[in-house]
Structures are given as structure tokens and as C-alpha cells.
Amino acid sequence: MLNTHGSALACENLLPFLKPGSSALDVGSGSGYLLAIMHQLVSPRGRVVGIDHIPELTEMSVKNLRADGRGDALDDGTIKVVTGDGRQGFAKGAPLNYSAIHVGAAAPTMPQALIDQLASPGRMFIVS
């Protein structure tokens, strides 16, 4: 799980690409903590998508985001939380590609699907 120090480091590195109106993807979104931060940074008009492969974590993420007052953003789709294989990203959420992608777990190789969903210019931050 991403701690607050890890979230701060990720945001510091992604900040130039987390502007109002941008889109962001959080792979391994866990509790939803970083989704809430990203949403704050890309609002208004921005979109964030969180993906995790553990259904209980995506459920917890939605619960936490609602408790944080972000229910309207969940309801209108500006925050989307999905259960799935994060290595594949979430192409449905990226018609213009993501300005920023955070990957909360190391991968043995760079996932091509995530590279394909990254905008140019854009930035991907992978926790090792």
C-alpha cells in the first residue's frame, strides 16, 4: 500500500502533468488515497481512473472516496474505480491518453499497454 511519503513523491514527480483538465491513471489504486489527491489536482474538468486487481480494494477505495466527499465525482465519472489487470491500463478511460500514470508496484518489464495509453507529453511514475 502506498504511504503518504510515497504519495508525496509520486505527486511531486507527476505534478507538471496533473493540471486542471488533465487525465490520470493510478495502477494499484488500493485505498483511493492517491486518487483523491490526483482528482484535486486535475479538477475542474479532469478525470482520474484507479485500477486494482483486488475487488475488496476497489470497493474500499470507492467507500473512502465517498467518505472524503468525492461521491459526486464518482457518480459523474470524473473519478472512476475499476477492478482489473493494471498492466493493461484502462484504455476506455483514455480516449486522448493519460497525462500522468502512477504504477504502485514494480514490474519486471515496462508494460507496453501503459506506454500506449500515455499522452505525449506525459509522465509515468513507477514505484520500485
Q: Is residue 1 over pLDDT 50?
A: no
Write the pLDDT tens digit of every residue in 39-97. 999 999 999 999 999 999 999 999 999 999 999 999 999 999 999 998 899 987 655 68
Asked if 23 and 95 count as a contact pair (C-beta separation under 8 A), the reply is: no
Q: Per-residue pLDDT for 2 more than 60?
A: no
Q: Which of 9-23, 98-112, 114-128 has the lowest mean pLDDT?
A: 98-112
State how far the Cα of 75 lies from the Cα of 17, in Å rounded to an integer.
24
pLDDT at 23: 95
Q: Which domains does the chain have, with CATH numbers?
A: 34-108+117-128 (3.40.50.150)
pLDDT for the residue 94: 58
DSSP-derived 3-state class of residue 114: helix
